[in-house]
Amino acid sequence: MDAQFWDMKWQKNQIGFHLSAVNPLLVKYFPVLELKEGARIFVPLCGKTLDIHWLLQRGMKVVGVELSQIAVEQLFSELGITPQISQVASNMLCFKAENLNIFVGDIFALSRALLGCVQAIYDRAALVALPPAMRITYAEHLIDISGKVEQLLVTLGYDQSCIAGPPFSVTQQDIQRYYGADYAIMCLDNTSVAGGLKGGVPATESVWLLKPE
């Protein structure tokens, strides 16, 4: 993962990947996770997503990890929350407030002990941000640190030869390769991306439920 690349994006405010509204697929399909109020949900590579606001409003406890400290500072500012900041590892900070913990650093440096117990994962921006060579390592790490909890996964599909990622195109075969040995995989929805990606390349946003086997 190229930390400098993402730091530069946030420093220059080149954050077209940041949605100006809560992802409608989260709103529509979050109930399939059947989480009780107070459940702890992990959002990898979270940025400052408004999805976190939405999850908190529904009584969830949220834990995330993000490379960019700028993104995390903006997240707390936009929530109107002053976090407690602590150094939890040599290369990892934790921004903490009631019902919200965000680790600042490389997800591959996040251990199971630091993450703590979670009941589910919501991955909208992590898998699609990683090039193919890193995805199997990411999936294995995610399974390990979370204890193989269920996932709500959002991906994009498009002709990768038309534009360079990120976000990258992720196919059903890719998901099966990364997660098929540990999860039952169900596609819940396929939706055309309005206006396409980066200049109008046709794309489909898909949402998947991964249930531990």
Q: Binding residue per annotation — 205?
A: no
How far is Cα 93 from Cα 85, in angstroms, rounded to an integer?
Answer: 7
SS3 label, residue 50: helix
Q: Binding residue per annotation — 112?
A: no
Kindly provide the residue ranges of all beta strands, DSSP E only, lying in 15-113, ordered along the sequence: 40-44, 61-66, 84-89, 92-97, 100-104
SS3 label, residue 205: strand
Decide if 39 contacts 63 (C-beta within 8 A). Answer: no
The number of C-alpha atoms within 13 Å of 72 and in the hemisphere containing its C-beta is 26
Which tokens go with 187?
């596609």
Q: Binding residue per annotation — 54?
A: no
What angle separates helix 69-79 from helix 50-57, to the nearest 10 degrees?
40
Decide if 145 contacts 110 (C-beta within 8 A). Answer: yes
The number of C-alpha atoms within 13 Å of 145 and in the hemisphere containing its C-beta is 23
Q: Binding residue per annotation — 56?
A: no
Residue with the two structure tokens 């994006």: 9
Summarize the annotated binding site as residue ranges: 10, 45, 66, 124
Summarize the annotated binding site for S-adenosyl-L-methionine as residue ranges: 10, 45, 66, 124
